[in-house]
Amino acid sequence: MKNLLWKLLRKHISPAQLIGFSIANLVGLTIVILAVQFYNDVKPVFNDDESFIRKDYIVITRTVTGVGAMMGNSSEFDDAAIADIEAQPWCRKVGRFTNSEFSIYATVGLGDSGRAMRSQFFFEAIPTDFIDVADADWEFDPAHPEVPVIVSRDYLSLYNFGFAATQGLPRISEGQVGNIPLAFTFSGNGINEVMPGRIVGFSNRLNTVIVPEEFMKWANQRYGNGGNGNPLRLIIEVNSPGDVKIEQYMADHRYDVAGDKNQSSKASYFLTVIVSIVIAVGIVISLLSFFVLMLSIYLLLQKNTQRLRDLLLLGYSPAQVSRSYVIMVLAINGAVLILAIVLMLIARAHYLPMLEAFELPRVSVLPAIITGFVIMALITIGNIIAIRRKVASLWLLTK
């Protein structure tokens, strides 16, 4: 009986319309789940400490002009300026650089030759949350003073390939740095003291010499003026790196952004926009294919209106009459989902070799597949509801 009912109802089905819907839905669904999978595959890069998508950091200073410097204009950030930055929608949090207020000389031993290098030095401190060196021994105890230091990785390269190469000094690897004798001479408030120091890591984010905030507070109280002045530099964690609003804000307030962070952030911002556009296009195509199928079903039901009424008058229930169309929709959408997953896996197999240079861990394809199931389930439920409503309206007319 079911086969006879299907044979009767399928006479006005247009294969071309169903194929067109299937192709449109296949393209849209494939784009969406492929974009989701691609994002998941490269997300470990974005979530790294040097992430340029999930979060980013910029270091800013006030613009110093020749006239301003001679006139003694302040380059500090007061509380009002910091509060205004924190109120911006692109700002997550702001960290203040604390400068040393005392004289520092660093003495570095250079191997068994007994040679040493001595130079005037400087320290800065920032909140620990902004430091990109993991697992560093970052504690300072005045009772057993040893100063842990984080320096810019650029400083090590500058020494190895600039200073050491021209002065006949030994080059130093990052692994050897912790064993190099290092001492600091601090002077201020009539006190002159020597403390041992140790380089505990190198930073890619900060182009300076960083010490713990606990040490800086203690040292400024002991050798300086207490460290109560306003900061000269700020580090900002932003939630939308490359946003043009950040660049405009900096220009309007005459703030300088250190390094070329702004340019790299623009590239990452545009990448995020492109990925979002691709996903949006896929969703739009899927929605259009949904409406194409709905139009096809309504046209099909309209052509079969008389037959459907006759079947309902003969005693068939609306559920029995609509079952054939529901099964057809389930079969088409199921086939589209399977093909979309297969195409996503094929495309992934082609782009994964291009990501091998980043040494990314392999991630599961389950989130993308679940996304496909959810989208197709929503489309299928919408189709079934529309079919049953149409048949139910015809059934009401037969009463």
- The per-residue pLDDT for 50 is 46
Residue 289: name the closest of 389, 383, 370 by CA: 383
Confidence of residue 146 (pLDDT cuts 50, 70, 90): confident
Residue 1 has pLDDT above 70, yes or no: no
Q: Phi, psi at residue 283, to the nearest 5°?
A: -65, -40
Residue 83 has pLDDT above 80, yes or no: yes
Residue 339: name the closest of 15, 16, 26 by CA: 26
Distance CA 351, CA 96 (A): 42
Distance CA 257, CA 62 (A): 9
> What 3-state DSSP class applies to 117?
strand
- The per-residue pLDDT for 96 is 92
Residue 71 has pLDDT above 50, yes or no: no
- The per-residue pLDDT for 186 is 92
- 204: enclosing H helix or E strand: none
Section 158-185 average pLDDT:
77
- The per-residue pLDDT for 246 is 85
Residue 82 has pLDDT above 90, yes or no: yes
Distance CA 287, CA 272 (A): 23
Most confident of 11-25, 86-100, 244-258, 307-321: 86-100
Output the CA angle 131-144-151, nearest 5 degrees.
Answer: 25
